[in-house]
Structure 1
Amino acid sequence: MAFTDWMTDYAGRDWQQSASGTVRYALVGLGWWTTDVALPAIAAAELCETTVVVSSSAEKASRIAGEHGVDYGITYDDYHEGVAADAYDAVYIATPNAFHLEYAETAAQLDKGVLCEKPMEASVERAERIVNVCDDADVPLMVAYRMQTDPAVRRARELVEDGFLGEPVQVYGNNSQPLLEMIPDRNQWRLNPELTGYGASVMDLGIYSINTARYLLRRDPVTVEARMSSPHEAFDAVPDERSSFLAVLEGDVQMVSTASQRAHADTQLKITGTDGQLELRPAFHGQCTLYASKGDVTAEVSHRSFDAVEEMTEEFDYFADRLLSEAIIYPDGEHGLTDLRIIEAIHQAADTETAVGLD
């Protein structure tokens, strides 16, 4: 097949099954991501709307609800008590990692679908409890991997599936940002291991390279090696201000990934095969764009790039579509649990300075 035949434009929503219907969301956790990204994303969506917002502060919940035309602004205690439960069909959990479980448990008790931010929890054990409680209650569970609904990433997956790369050989991923410039508070939850989990950089940033590579290649790591350090005093409580890991994926695909919460902002993911190469640049923050290379020709494949709000619109509509159509959810609880097992192994490998195998 000629290279130009691979570069055709494509329709973004290859996943959509439902033409109509509305899923009502309760947004749990009103940090900047929810207020600046999630709320506008749902407002632009086709299949969903926000009807409830939930915060630790009654004043904040009421204020945010009023500013965005949301029916109910309630507290966490209200949420656990079932206040306004008839006003929503699904919950989006965007609290610090270590609180995801308790809000998922309540959602399951109330028979609501669960869209949980990644990483799914602060530890493998707590993530397993989320999977089990949702399974036991027979409620849908999806982990919020927004890259999986970005058209550029989905096009890359299509090219991999069609054999564009030949045999995958190697992967390079990086995700870095200047966290203390973005959020100057040194007491923020991402630097608190009791709230964030295993660490600051791999949990929050490295997970993008891990999950997107897994999504594109449908291959999981079988062994990992890692190095970490935290030279800056603000990162004393976490081991991975700077991190790198080498993973061997199924089929002997070699993956190198770096992540840092105290570095120049940069995101990229590059997959090289025997016949071609796919690169997402920028990959995870900003407007994700796909480049495909064969021989000495490189072309931009995606029809246009999406920003974070547009990616989240796709994600919220994807989950709504799955609830309305009862179609299979790809990034389900087991999928998110695999990522946490990989991250746990990466931290173990860094601690022991040895290769760690994954079952």
Structure 2
Amino acid sequence: MNLTEHFEDFGRRDWETDDLEGTVRLALIGAGWFTREWALPGVERAAHTEPTVIVDVDPERAEALADEHGMTHLTPGEFHDGVAQTEYDAVYVCTPNATHLEYVETAAATGTDVLCEKPMEADARRAAQLVEVCERADVSLMIGYRMHLDPVVRRSKEVIEAGAIGEVVQVQGNMSQRMIAELEGDAGEQWRLDPDLAGGGAMMDIGIYPLNTTRFLLDADPERVSASIGSTHEAFADVEEQVAVRATFEGDVPVLFTANHNAYHDSFLRVTGTDGQVIIDPAFFEREDRGLEIRRDGERIDIDVSQVHQLEEEFAYFAECLLSGRDPGPDGEHGCLDMRAIDAIYESAETGETVPVDR
């Protein structure tokens, strides 16, 4: 099989249409580091999006960001009261997991489309409520799985679907980082360590990456899971520091992945077939260039990839869908299945049993 055709024009946007007109004005909900360093630059880089409103619990932080980027700044209360509602067409929700629902409810009540970060809520029950709110209001809901729009992942999916590595027989992945070291003594202020806000630890925050990217690459879902979780650092008294998962996907494909908030910085995803492998390494961190290697017929082929700003791709795609009248994906139902899988992972870790994923 000739792989060349898959890697010509590597960074092509296969979702993009020609002659798109218009601009989607966005209210950014949450002014944390991810919004400041990645989402906001992504909105400003995308051709058909414009940041017009910033909402945050810290009024000084919101005001400073608004002044720097020419936006209107609001408190959460003002947003919920409908202040400056005419200044945005859609909202991007990037707040602690357990607070997503309240902002989506307000947006949906005014007929405003939503791009919600993942994990979409603190548990599967609240995630289902979030989807129901958007369905009742007939507003678009997209979940922010940025990996879906990265050309490295999209070209890998094409190669796998074309049969270049034969029948997929297993997947292995990892995402780990030294979160505690990066906090520099501010662990007490980190919402990701609060189970009421985060819903969990390493699995919720970074384990979702190998889980969801595998779903996208294989176009398949987990059917049952077994898992273990644990913590060694005192900061992780209430949420797990590390997680190890063995999931069985449709077609009886075993998927093994780990995530760790107190380990060497690393991320990879390795898809093994009967005739070869696709290896994405580095894989998941937004601040790192992705790498792609194909192993086949005894050869290792390093692919010359196109690196992109993942958030620019995500917001450009979201705007493309809204302006062209298409339903964006991954949608809320897609995100809900991840949440049900994560609930099953936590149940397995607690009981020691293999747990089916509610599909």
TM-score (norm 1): 0.95
What's the counterpart of residue 336 of structure 1?
Answer: 335
Q: 1:231-242 maps to which residues of 2 (within 5 A)?
A: 231-238=232-239, 240-242=240-242
**Corresponding residue for residue 321 of structure 1:** 320
Change in 2 beyond 3 A, CA 1:353/1:324: same
Compute the RMSD of aligned alpha carbons: 1.3
Deviation at 1:259, TM superposition (A): 0.3
Map of 2:168 onto structure 1: 168
- 1:28 CA displacement: 0.3
Over 3 Å counting, the alpha-carbon distance change for 1:3 and 1:77 in structure 2 is closer
Match of 1:191 in 2: 193
Give me the whole-angstrom Cα distance separating, in 1, the residues matched to 2:345 and 2:50.
38
5+ long unaligned stretches in structure 1: none
User: Does structure 1 residue 144 correspond to structure 2 residue 144?
Assistant: yes
CA distance in 1, matches of 2:301, 2:219: 24
What is the deviation of 1:11? 4.1
Residues 165, 340 of structure 1: CA spacing in aligned structure 2 closer, same or farther, 3 A cutoff? same
Single out whichever of 38-47 and 87-96 deviates more from structure 2: 38-47
C-alpha distance in 2 between matches for 1:289 and 1:325:
32
Q: Distance in 2 between matches of 1:59 and 1:3?
A: 52
Q: Match of 1:303?
A: 305
| Cα separation, 1, equivalents of 2:27 and 2:302 | 38
Mean Cα displacement is larger for which, 312-321 or 1-10? 1-10
Runs of 4+ in 1 over 6 A off after TM superposition: none
Using the size of structure 2 for normalisation, the TM-score is: 0.95
Conservation of the 8 A alpha-carbon contact between 2:322 and 2:328: no
Do the aligned residues in 1 keep the contact of 2:242 with 2:261 (CA within 8 Å)?
yes
SS of the residue corresponding to residue 21 of structure 1 reads coil
TM-fit CA distance, 1:2: 3.2
Q: 1:118 maps to which residue?
A: 118
Cα deviation for residue 287 of structure 1 reads 1.1
For residues 30 and 186 of structure 1, what CA distance do their matches in structure 2 show?
19
Matches within 5 A, 1:8-87: 8-17=8-17, 19-70=20-71, 72-87=72-87
- Structure 1 residue 4, shift from structure 2 partner: 4.8
Larger mean Cα displacement after TM superposition, 289-298 or 214-223: 289-298
- What's the offset of the Cα at 1:263? 0.7
Kindly tell me: are residues 25 and 4 of structure 1, through their superposed partners in 2, closer, same or farther at Cα, counting changes over 3 Å? closer
Instruction: Name stretches of at least 5 consecutive residues in structure 2 with no aligned partner.
Output: none
Aligned partners of 1:303, 1:260: CA distance in 2, in Å?
27
Percent of residue pairs identical: 47
| Structure 1 residue identity aligned to 2:174 | N
Alpha-carbon distance in 2 for matches of 1:234, 1:206: 18
